[in-house]
Every structure is written in C-alpha cells, then in structure tokens.
Structure 1
Amino acid sequence: MTQTDESERPEVSGQVKWFDPAKGFGFVVADTGGPDILLHANVLRNFGQSSVADGSQVMLMVQQTERGMQAVEIISIAPPRTPVSTVLADLAVLDPEELASRPLEPARVKWFDKGKGFGFANVFAMGDDVFIHVEVLRQSGLADLLPGEAVCLRVIEGKRGRMATEVLPWDTAVKELG
C-alpha cells in the first residue's frame, strides 16, 4: 500500500456487498458506483467489530492502491435498510420502541454457529445464557460472532428463556453509553 495524505482519502458512502470473517475481507459497493472497495478485517476491527452484515450501509475513508480501492477507516455502519422479517414469534408481538429502551447488558459470546443460525452469550455476573438468533444479529448489522467476543445485548424474557433483541459490538456500546 502506498502512503497518501489525508486529502487523498475521500469519504465514500456505500453498501456492504459481502464480508466473510473467515477469509478476513469483503467488498463494499459505493453509492456513486465505480469499482468495488476492499474492506479488510483489520479495518473492521479498528472500528470495533469482527463482522458486518451484507447490505449494511457504511461510510468509509478510502484510498487508491496498486490493487484498487481499499477502505482505510470506517466512519459509521448502519444495519441493512431492507427490513428483515423476523421469524421469532417472541419479538413479533413487542413494541419496537419498548425494545429499543431496554438497558444494554454487557456479555461475552459463549458460541455462535452461523450455519445453525443461533448461539449463546453469558451476561456478566449472571448464571443463565442469553439466546442469540442469526436474524437478530443481522438486524443489528452483524454477520457473525466469535467465541469470547465482548458485546452488549438488549434482552427480553422469551417463552424459552432470555433472548437477545439487539446485539452491539462492545466498542459501539461503550461509545453509546459514554
């Protein structure tokens, strides 16, 4: 990568085309068109996330390299604009404003299996696990979670126990609370 000054790192708004945490990269399509923009896992980690959902809206600082356009900094990430129909009956009947007003609970991911479509986290200082469904993760703008990853959750008491209604990366939640 060649060194450039800040004036050669324009802000670009776009949408995540795809991101694969296992591969460590993905691509963003700029709202104004043009070639795909490489989004490397290190840039995402510097923002405080280990994954991002396909279709998420992003604001990036980019630079031209010998291999094409690359994101060098993430300014913001918003979950996909297209509404995802929830398959979770426990959430379908609840008021979205009431869900958004729930307190954030700090937690650590126990395990998450994207293929199975769910996983669990432990809220700090609590004994029971919190269920995390892949649709809740996508609606939160994330694609995957890693074991041991620190997150903040909004939680309800569902028919089968505690379940997450929103998942925030730790760094994002700390900024929101701070």
Structure 2
Amino acid sequence: MEEDDEQQRKIAGVVKWFDGSKGFGFLTDPEGGADILLHANVLRNFGQSSVAEGSHVVAIIQKTPRGMQAVEVLEITPPASEPMPAIADLCSATPEEIAQLPLLPARVKWFDKAKGFGFANIFAEKADVFLHVEVLRHSGFADLAVGEAIALRVVDGRRGMMAAQILSWEKAAIEARQTQPGGAAALAKLRLVAGAV
C-alpha cells in the first residue's frame, strides 16, 4: 500500500478532451509529462458523466503500467472562456444575478448534444426545464446522461423555465454548505431529495 501512496500525487491539469461514449479522455500534465488518462468511472465518482474540454481539474493521479491515470477527481472548474453567447432568455442576467438564484435539485430527462439542447425535471415540479448546450459548456459539462442528478439555477423565460447554470450534485452540495444562507438546510434538502428526483 505504501508503494501505491508514493506513486500518487495531486495535480491541477486541463482537460485535453473527454469522450463520454468512449468512456475516457485525457488531462494535460502541468509538469509537462505525458497526458493523464481520465476514466469515466473516476469522473462519475465525482458526480459528473462528462467534462468540457479546457476545464481545469484538480485530481489525484497514479502511475500505472500503462501510464499516468487519474484515480480521484477533487475539483472541476469550467473553462475560462469568452462571455456566454447571447441566449434570448439570459441576455439581461449577469453572472452575479445568476449566482443569487436558488439551487434546485433535478434529474436529466434527456440531452442531445448534436441538437444542442435537452430537458431536466426539478423535484416536485411538473414543468420541464430547458437545458441549452452553451449553458452546459459554460458550466463545465460536455454532455449529460439520462437520469444524471444535477442542480440548476433557473430563470423563467419566454417559453418556460430555462437553466441559467448547471452544477454537479456534489458541487451543489459543497456550494450550499459554504455560500448560501441556510446552507445546512439547503444541503439537507439536497440530500433528502437525491433519491426521489
């Protein structure tokens, strides 16, 4: 066991690419070494089924006979990019205003990356929430799986509810605990509905 621990180290890399259908992708090594394998199972253990190219990932990596491999994802930060393209229902909302919206527990109903959109169901709500691919990308995701547990910040658009921000279940729980008023209560609600969404 000690030998494995010696071969593990914490890195802050960038997603070179990730293909959910193949079940893996690669991170760049900040020390200039070979690319680091990121398996879908390791990403799922963090609470996401995909990650956007260019996202910053803090992970524990380990040397294997086939090269370096991520064994645990600790943090994912969406890619630093240009401002989000104008989406009619989000044009007037600033990032600060979006951050003030409540986190709502949801599950992905379906998402089609080729079409650029999908829908999610919020716990205890009948209406679907529209998921736009640009909101997804700016939230650090490349794709979403049917049934995936997520948390949403939602705006009421001209055609109904629309996600303004998408967070992984784990990131939402951490944020609820750290930043929101009544964070402990919000976290308890997220835990309570996790299996029922």
Shorter-chain TM range is: over 0.9
* Structure 2: gaps spanning 5 or more residues: 178-197
Q: Residue in 2 aligned with 1:33?
A: 32
Distance in 2, Cα, partners of 1:4 & 1:87: 51
TM-score normalised to the size of structure 2?
A: 0.85
Identity of aligned residues (%): 58
In structure 2, the residue matched to 1:144 is 143
TM-score with structure 1 length normalisation?
0.94
Counterpart of 1:91, as a letter, is L
What is the CA–CA distance in structure 2 between the aligned matches of 1:172 and 1:66, rounded to whole Å?
32
| Structure 1 outlier segments of 4+, above 3 Å | none
Tell me the SS of whatever aligns to 1:142.
coil
Task: Flag the structure with higher helix content.
Answer: 2
Question: Aligned partners of 1:18 and 1:3: how far apart in 2?
Answer: 32
Shift of 1:7: 2.7
Cα deviation for residue 104 of structure 1 reads 0.4
Q: 2:46 maps to what in 1?
A: 47
The structure-2 alpha-carbon separation of the partners of 1:66 and 1:5, relative to structure 1 and needing over 3 Å to count, comes to closer
- Residue 28 of structure 2 aligns to a residue whose secondary structure is strand
Aligned counterparts of 2:95 and 2:103: Cα–Cα separation in 1: 15
> Within 1, Cα distance between the matches of 2:113 and 2:79?
18
Given that 2:4 and 2:62 are in contact with CA atoms closer than 8 Å, whether structure 1 keeps it comes out as no
Contact 1:107 1:152 in 2 (8 A): yes
Q: Deviations over 1:72-105 (max 9, x none)?
A: 1111110001225324122122122111110001
Structure 2 CA distance for partners of 1:172 and 1:14, relative to 1, 3 Å: same
State the shift of 1:3 in Å: 8.4
Give the letter for the 1:42 counterpart.
N
CA gap of 1:39–1:126, structure 2 versus 1, over 3 A, is: same
Counterpart residue type for residue 169 of structure 1 = S
Contact 2:84 2:138 in 1 (8 A): no
Contact 2:7 2:62 in 1 (8 A): yes
Task: Using the TM superposition, give the Cα deviation of residue 58 of structure 1 relative to its aligned residue in structure 2, in angstroms.
Answer: 0.7
Which letter maps to 1:135? E
Equivalents in 2 of 1:133, 1:160: separation in Å? 13
Give per-residue Cα distances to partners, 1:90-144, cap 9 Å, x unaligned.
2122122111110001111110000100000111111111000011011111111
* Number of the residue aligned with 1:166: 165
Superposed, 1:20-99 pairs within 5 Å as 20-99=19-98
